[in-house]
Amino acid sequence: MDTEKHQQDAEATAIIAQKVLPGREREYEAWQQDVNAAAAAYDGYLGVEVAPPTPLQPEWVVVYRYDSIPHLQAWINSSTRQGLLEVGDEYLDGPGTQQVVSGHAPAQDPLVTVVITHRVHPEHVEDFLAWQRRMTEEESRFEGFRGSEFFPPIEGVQEEWTTLYRFDNAEHLDAWLTSDRRRKVLAEGKQFDFKLRTIDNSFGSWFAFEENGREAPPPSVTKTAIAVWVGLYPTVVLLALATSPLKMPLWLGLLVGNLLSSLVMSFLTMPYYVNPLLGRWLRPSPDEPPARANLIGIGIVAVLLAFWVVVFYLVTTQIWSLP
């Protein structure tokens, strides 16, 4: 009873994967935006992410987050969503798959997350749990393993047990999936059928924000581009000033400058300058009105860029001129 109440009160996440018919991708994206807008109008909505297919992940993956199972269930079962699904059927290659997890948002590795579901007969739950612990123990010994999360069935929503586990890149994941150790453990639990899906979340590490000890979902593409612009402008100009005495030819100066810019952006500019100053805008609190968060974020962007424009104008015209 306590577990059921905890699941009802805890944050809920739905992971939906679906294949799109070739040539219908743009129509699907427009339709998915309409679906996302409708989802945002329901009580308890916290956010949505859409990940397009990659060589590692052949399906479109949509992740909805709500503050509780009842609120997520209200959206999933709503007539609004059912009507939208009827419209979207013409873009989809067959029915999609859906997993729901409760407790908190599924932690997402910057690169690879694997979702596995099992249907387990109630009489075999203890054996299944023991076998799952054995599987996790073997996984943890492999290079690149970033951790796993385990979610029991949710009454009235989903009958499957769901496991999420993460590796730092596709190569390390593939080493585990094709290993003799995994085949051996699978043979030990051959009575537990499973479905496996890989989600390639190649979002990089420039926008890694901690949320309750977990990496939070990345900001939108537009916010990402603006934030990179805010960090790139001072980085490029400062490096140009620093390397100008070397008087390198254009082709070599750009080669060296691009390398230095990438390193400085990755290790200094983004984590210690852009993310702290724009974090509230890039990853706003669910309780903060979007309009207010955007207004504050754009204001900070304008102030930062105006500051650097004035500084570099004075430096390059009044103090120092580039050769």
| pTM score, whole prediction | 0.47
Average pLDDT over residues 176-188: 87
pLDDT (tens digit, 9 = 90+) per residue, 207-253? 444 443 344 455 677 888 899 999 999 999 999 888 888 888 988 98
* pLDDT tier at 260, thresholds 50, 70, 90: very high
| % residues pLDDT > 70 (the chain) | 81
Contacts of 117 (CB under 8 A, 6+ apart): 99, 160, 161, 162, 163, 194, 195
- Model confidence at 68: pLDDT above 70: yes
Cβ atoms of 15 and 99 within 8 Å: the answer is yes
Q: Convert the pLDDT of each residue in 261-297 to its tens digit.
A: 988 998 889 888 998 898 888 877 656 677 888 899 9
pLDDT of residue 58: 79
Distance CA(128)–CA(116), nearest Å, equals: 14
pLDDT, mean of residues 171-178: 83
Q: How far apart are CA 135 and CA 111, in angstroms?
A: 21
Q: How far is CA 37 from the centre of its chain?
A: 19
> Rounded to whole angstroms, how far apart are CA atoms 65 and 13?
5
Look at residue 218 in the predicted model and tell me its pLDDT: 58
Hey, what are 104's tokens?
A: 């908190």
Residue 168 CB-density burial (10 A; 0-12 exposed, 13-18 middle, 19+ buried): middle
Residues 80-105, mean pLDDT to the nearest whole number: 79
Could you give the CA distance from residue 134 to residue 270 in angstroms, rounded to a whole number?
A: 39
Q: Which fold has domain 2-200?
A: Alpha-Beta Plaits (3.30.70)
* Residue that wins the pLDDT comparison between 297 and 322: 297
Cα 184 from Cα 269, distance rounded (Å): 46
Q: Is the pLDDT confidence value at 9 over 50?
A: yes
Please provide the DSSP assignment of 31-82 as one string.
HHHHHHHHHHTSTTEEEEEEE---SS--SEEEEEEESSHHHHHHHHT-HHHH
DSSP alpha helices (H): ranges in 189-289? 221-243, 250-264, 275-282
Task: Work out the pLDDT band at 69, boundaries 50, 70, 90.
Answer: confident
Q: How confident is the model at residue 304 (pLDDT cuts 50, 70, 90)?
A: very high
Residue-wise pLDDT tens digits, 108-155: 444 577 778 888 888 888 888 888 888 888 888 888 887 777 677 766
Which position has the higher pLDDT, 310 or 122? 310
Q: Would you state the pLDDT for residue 113? A: 73
Question: 152-161, 199-208, 251-260, 268-277: lowest mean pLDDT where?
Answer: 199-208
**Residues 6+ positions from 138 with CB-CB distance below 8 Å:** 181, 182, 185
Type and span of the H or E element at 129: helix 125-139
Domain coordinates in residue numbering, the chain? 2-200, 219-319
pLDDT score, position 271: 83
> CA 145, CA 111: separation in Å to the nearest integer?
11
Nearby residues of 263 by Cβ (< 8 Å), 6 or more positions away: none
